[in-house]
């Protein structure tokens, strides 16, 4: 699995970031944020954890996976892939620490993962970064609506 860490500024205040994150856990709203998620069903929910079943369109192929989201607002979030047909391998995860910063929210991100639908000769780390950048753009577009 590829692993990396990065730090970035998300151009919205932390309270809006957390409203956005909670919208990701709504089984209907998620499709408005990320069109590649074709279906989502909440399997369980507690004070600090949500488990979701997602169907993701990976270049025309619908793949099912289980996502465990652990959160401690307003500072921490972890997405972890459980059982998975793809496009992300079981055990892949993203951890994000949030803090206030001028102009938005500082995000310190740690990623360990593998894209299962990527040919072996393409660099996992490069494509994981691209996927997360695309997700970030979709998140920002949703907040601007």
Q: What is the pLDDT along the chain (145 residues), one digit of tens a residue?
A: 999 999 999 999 999 999 999 999 999 999 999 999 999 999 999 999 999 999 999 989 999 999 999 999 999 999 999 999 999 999 999 999 999 999 999 999 999 999 999 998 999 999 999 999 999 999 999 999 9
pLDDT given at position 111? 98
pLDDT given at position 117? 92
pLDDT given at position 80? 98
pLDDT given at position 25? 95
pLDDT given at position 59? 87
| Residues 6+ away with beta carbon under 8 Å from 69 | 24, 25, 49, 50, 51, 52, 77, 78, 79, 80
Residue 135 dihedral angles phi and psi, to the nearest 5°: -60, -40
pLDDT given at position 28? 96
In Å, what is the CA distance from 28 to each residue of 31, 37, 54, 69, 125? Answer: 6, 10, 12, 17, 30
For 73-91, b/e burial (b = at least 16 CB within 10 A) is eeeebbbbbeebbbbbbee
pLDDT given at position 3? 97
Q: Tell me which fold the domain 2-144 belongs to.
A: Alpha-D-Glucose-1,6-Bisphosphate; Chain A, domain 4 (3.30.530)
* Domain extents in the chain: 2-144
């Amino acid at each position: 699995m590829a692993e990396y860490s990065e730090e970035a500024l998300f151009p919205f205040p932390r309270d809006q970031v957390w409203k956005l994150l909670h919208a990701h856990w709504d089984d209907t709203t998620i499709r408005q944020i990320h069109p590649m998620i074709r279906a989502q069903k909440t399997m369980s929910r507690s004070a600090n954890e949500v488990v979701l079943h997602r169907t993701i369109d990976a270049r025309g192929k619908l793949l099912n996976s289980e996502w465990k989201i652990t959160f401690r607002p307003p500072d921490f979030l972890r997405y972890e892939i459980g059982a998975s047909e793809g496009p992300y391998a079981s055990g892949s995860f993203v951890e994000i620490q949030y803090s206030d910063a001028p102009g938005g929210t500082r995000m310190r991100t740690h990623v360990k993962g593998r894209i299962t639908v990527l040919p072996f000769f393409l660099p996992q780390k490069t494509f994981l970064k691209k996927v997360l950048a695309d997700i970030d753009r979709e998140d920002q577009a949703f907040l601007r609506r």
